[in-house]
Structure formats: structure tokens, C-alpha cells
């Protein structure tokens, strides 16, 4: 765990990406797409990320987004643009897929 004196999200990007990866794998690995479970999966993934990010460093406001879609031949394109301080704020992006679904997680860290 990093000290609470962390103020530069770009330095936390690798750890934040690992948090997203762990949350997705623990929720989706080995599962097939099931529309009835998607909302629960998204809630578990985003809350897990948020809880672990707060433990990583409390000097940021965090935004976590999660998209899960069924694989049916179409693509998944995601884009976001932010106006912020490049030295202290940042974002990381993690994607995952299996034979039946795709997931995309975006984590934004905004210095307080």
C-alpha cells in the first residue's frame, strides 16, 4: 500500500489498473454472459474498485465506470475526454473478454 501522502494519480496508474483487473476477474472469470446478472456484476466490480482505491490513497476523488456487453460480433468503442491537471489527475482503462462477453473499466482519479 502506498503512503497517504500520494498526490499524483499518474504514479498510481499501475496499481489502479491492477485493482480493476482483480475486480473483473473475481466477478467474471469463468462465467458466461447472463443479462439477468449484469447489473449485479457491474455493482460488485465498481464497488470493489472504489473500496480498494480508497485503501490505496485517500487523496483523490474517484470515478469508476464499468461496461459489460454480450459478444455478438459487434465492437465495443469507449472514449472519454477530461479537463484536469495532468500532473496530479489521471485515468486508467482496463478491458477484458471471454467467449461470451466483453468488459471495460475506466477509473478516474482527481486530486483533492
d(CA 52, CA 54): 5
Q: Supply the pTM of this predicted model.
A: 0.91
Percentage, residues of the chain above pLDDT 70: 96
Which domains are assigned to the chain? 9-111 (3.30.1140.40)
Query: Within 13 Å of residue 100, how many CA atoms lie on the same side as its CB?
Result: 9
d(CA 104, CA 62): 16
**Three-class SS of residue 45?**
helix
pLDDT tens string 48-87: 999 999 999 999 999 999 999 999 987 778 788 889 999 9
Radius of gyration of the chain (CA): 15
Give the per-residue pLDDT at 5.
67
Lowest model confidence (mean pLDDT) among 1-15, 30-44, 55-69, 79-93 = 1-15
Give the per-residue pLDDT at 81.
86
Give the per-residue pLDDT at 18.
98
Amino acid at each position: 500500500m502506498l503512503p497517504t501522502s500520494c498526490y499524483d494519480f499518474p504514479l498510481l496508474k499501475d496499481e489502479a489498473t491492477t485493482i480493476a483487473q482483480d475486480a473483473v476477474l473475481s466477478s467474471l472469470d469463468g462465467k458466461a454472459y447472463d443479462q439477468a446478472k449484469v447489473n449485479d456484476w457491474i455493482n460488485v466490480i465498481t464497488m470493489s474498485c472504489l473500496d480498494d482505491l480508497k485503501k490505496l490513497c485517500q487523496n483523490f476523488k474517484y470515478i469508476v465506470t464499468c461496461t459489460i456487453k454480450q459478444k455478438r460480433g459487434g465492437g465495443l468503442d469507449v472514449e472519454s475526454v477530461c479537463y484536469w491537471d495532468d500532473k496530479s489527475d489521471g485515468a486508467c482503462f482496463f478491458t477484458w473478454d471471454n467467449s461470451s462477453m466483453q468488459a471495460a473499466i475506466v477509473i478516474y482519479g482527481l486530486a483533492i
